[in-house]
Amino acid sequence: MTYFQNAKTVLKSLFSRPSTLMYPAKPAKKMALSRGHVTIDPAKCIACRSCQRKCPAQAIVVDVKEKTWEIDRFRCVICASCIEACPTKCLAMDPQYPESTTARGGLYKVTVAGPKKKEPVAAVEGAAKPAEKKE
Amino acid sequence: MGKQVTVPFGPQHPVLPEPIHLDLVLEDETVVDAIPSIGYVHRGLEKLVEKREYPEYIYVAERICGICSYIHSNTYAECIEEIMHIEVPERAKYLRTIWSEYSRLHSHLLWLGLFADGMGFESVFMNAWRLREHILDDMEATTGGRVIQGVCKVGGVRRDIAPEKLDEMLKGLRGMERELHDLTDVFLNDASVVHRLRGAGVLKTEDAYYLGAVGPTARASGVPIDIRQTGYNAYGKINFTPVVESSGDSYARCAVRAKELYTSIDIIEQCIKKIPDGPVDVKVTGAPDGEYFARAEQPRGEVVHYIKGNGKRNLVRHRVRTPTFTNIPPLVTLLKGCQLADVPIIVLSIDPCVGCAER
């Protein structure tokens, strides 16, 4: 049994570079799989509401009529289950944390492409004709 | 015999990371009785099971505790799988074992740091948390989360680990083992630490057994109870012996946790060598109808999840008994007869996790 058992480690730390990261000066290191915040590609979203149904925290609200997709960043638990459920892969996970917001700024709302209209079979066959009419 | 004085300890106290209140009845400097009161961070998570569907509830189950989060989700998933007769792929079982042991490593290193801080040994505290950071980095690289992994799901796991990454993790752990020896030497051999811990809060073997102590608290008193030996996940295919100490004081509880770090590294090494190829999850349809009672070994001891379903998407009952809750009666026994100055060390030595205890 000895005294100063930790002296070796202390001396080693004294002459080595610090283990800590100078955080605001240097950005925090993030892995490829890190879960920071959910992002959406509005052009791909078909407003199918799969993400809304799968969300355990009920943070996502999709309005099919208004064609909006809304996430409450304060409710979101960043579990990525919406990303797994998305059929068009329009949702993705950004490894960095979102910018800090106030209670009022927690909502993030975007207008999305919305559901595709089912075109009648006849219209598909003569697709060029209605376009000509419009012009 | 002096006059009796009651001293409140907590819920906010420098050595307590979470709120637990103890009324210490003192005679001079000696504690004659301790009356615990909990309920400061009760969140009603068990009731929430009626509002969330069972696949979603795994995220809630994981948030019961911030430190042993992964093992809570694993045990919950195990319950549902047993009720629904789902055969989890072998690879998923090994991955679950690896992540369980990683969370044990990070919890024990966190505790060793807090314990050193409780004794006033700041540099050891910093070093323990520096080593813990490597474990957290590996966890984040494989699961995506540092503390809440969110990687376990009913029917398997959500992510696979590539073989190259597994080798890299093994190399990292072996490199860390040398630094761990330096760290644990301080707890096991440093004269001032041993002087502070020896004989502080002795729990006899019979007391540990009859008061239902679990985990390192029981193993330090010579009760060789380790739920990993029941062979859930892939533990049945792995050789290991639980660390058991006999003296039952704070030093023994500290030694059990320090030595378990090496057991965990050994288990991860065996898992990485034996892990089979194959899928990591199976598709789950339907809803659980029946009840099951699953046990698992958390860093702090045995956790019990009880689940009852009635064939609908929402469960009827979810009951959790966590290791800290079980260790409160032994804690009260430990405190009786100790000195007031030893109270922080003794309370910390059972590794209290009040978030777990109150759910």
Interface test with B, best of A1, A4, A6 (most B CBs within 10 A): A6
* Closest residue by Cα to residue B323 from B205, B214, B243: B214
How far is the C-alpha of A35 from the C-alpha of A29, rounded, in Å? Answer: 12
Of A33, A35, A79, Cβ closest to residue B59: A79
Q: Say whether B57 and A56 touch across the interface (CB within 8 A).
A: yes
The torsion of the CA quartet B216, B217, B220, B226, rounded to 10 degrees, works out to -40
CB pair distance less than 8 Å for B190 and A79: no
Predicted local distance difference test score (pLDDT) of residue A124: 53
Distances, alpha carbon A77 to alpha carbons A48, A71, A94, B68, B150, in Å: 21, 11, 14, 17, 10
Would you state the pLDDT for residue B342? 87
| Chain A: residues touching B (Cβ < 8 Å) | 1-6, 8-10, 13, 19, 31-35, 54, 56-57, 77-81, 84, 93
Nearest CA in chain A to B52: A56
User: A100 burial class (0-12, 13-18, 19+ CB within 10 angstroms)?
Assistant: exposed
**pLDDT tens digits, residue range B268-316?**
999 999 989 888 888 888 888 889 999 999 998 899 999 998 888 888 8
How sure is the predictor about B98, in pLDDT bands with cuts at 50, 70 and 90? very high
Q: Do A6 and B145 touch (CB under 8 A)?
A: no
Of A3, A19, A33, the CB nearest to B144: A33
User: Where are the extended beta strands (E) located within B89-164?
Assistant: 152-153, 156-157
Please indicate whether, in this complex, the C-beta atoms of B150 and A80 are within 8 angstroms of each other.
Answer: yes
Distances (CA, A) of A105 to A45, A99, A108, A112: 23, 10, 8, 20
* A63 min Cα distance to partner chain B (Å): 22
Q: Is the Cβ pair A1, B191 closer than 8 Å?
A: yes
User: pLDDT tens across A8-61, in order?
Assistant: 888 888 888 888 888 888 887 788 888 888 888 888 888 888 888 888 888 888
Q: Pick from B55, B62, B128: which is nearest to B99 by CA?
A: B62
| Nearest residue of A to residue B179, measured between CA atoms | A9
Query: From the list B148, B159, B192, which residue is nearest A3 (CB)?
Result: B192
What gap in Å lies between CA B254 and CA B159, rounded to an integer?
A: 34
pLDDT digits (tens, 9 = 90+) for A54-80: 888 888 888 888 888 888 888 888 888
How close does chain A come to B320, measured CA to CA in Å? 20
Contact A77 B56 (CB under 8 A): no
Q: List the single best residue of B109, B176, B186, B196 to mutate versus A (max A Cβ within 10 A).
A: B186
Distance of alpha carbon B108 from alpha carbon B21, whole angstroms: 24
Q: Are strands B30-37 and B152-153 parallel, antiparallel or unpaired?
A: unpaired
Residues, chain A: 135
Question: Chain B: nearest CA to A53, how far in angstroms?
Answer: 10
The number of helix segments (H) and strand segments (E) in chain B equals 12, 8
Judged by CB atoms closer than 8 Å, whether chains meet at B127 and A8 is answered as no
Q: From the CA of A37, how many Å to the nearest CA of chain B?
A: 12
Could you give the angle at which helices B250-274 and B90-119 cross, rounded to 10 degrees? 150
Name residue B25's beta-bridge partners.
B6, B33
Contact: B158, A77; criterion CB under 8 Å? no
CA of A43 vs chain B CAs: smallest distance (Å) = 27
In the prediction, which pLDDT does A120 show?
66
- Give the gap in angstroms from C-alpha A110 to the nearest C-alpha of chain B: 25
Distance CA A103, CA B60 (A): 23
In this structure, what are the phi and psi dihedrals at residue A99, rounded to the nearest 5 degrees? -65, 150
Q: How far is B13 from chain A (nearest CA, A)?
A: 27
Nearest CA in chain B to A19: B130
Say how far apart CA A107 and CA B348 lie, in whole Å: 41
A80-133 pLDDT per residue, tens: 888 888 888 888 888 888 777 777 777 887 787 877 766 666 655 545 555 444
Q: Is the pLDDT reported for residue A135 higher than 50?
A: no
pLDDT tens digits for range B164-215: 988 998 899 888 888 898 888 888 888 888 888 888 888 889 988 999 899 8
Check CB contact under 8 Å for A9 and B127. Answer: yes
Q: At B216, list the tokens.
A: 């390192």
Q: What is the pTM of this model?
A: 0.87
- What is the ipTM for the molecules in this complex? 0.75
Cα separation of A48 and B254, whole Å?
Answer: 54
Q: At CB < 8 A and 24+ separation, what contacts does B202-206 make?
A: B202/B247, B202/B248, B202/B249, B202/B334, B203/B248, B203/B249, B203/B330, B203/B333, B203/B334, B204/B248, B205/B246, B205/B248
Place A1 in a pLDDT band, splitting at 50, 70 and 90.
Answer: low
- Please provide the average confidence, as pLDDT, over all residues in chain B: 88
In this prediction, residues B76-86 reach a mean pLDDT of 90
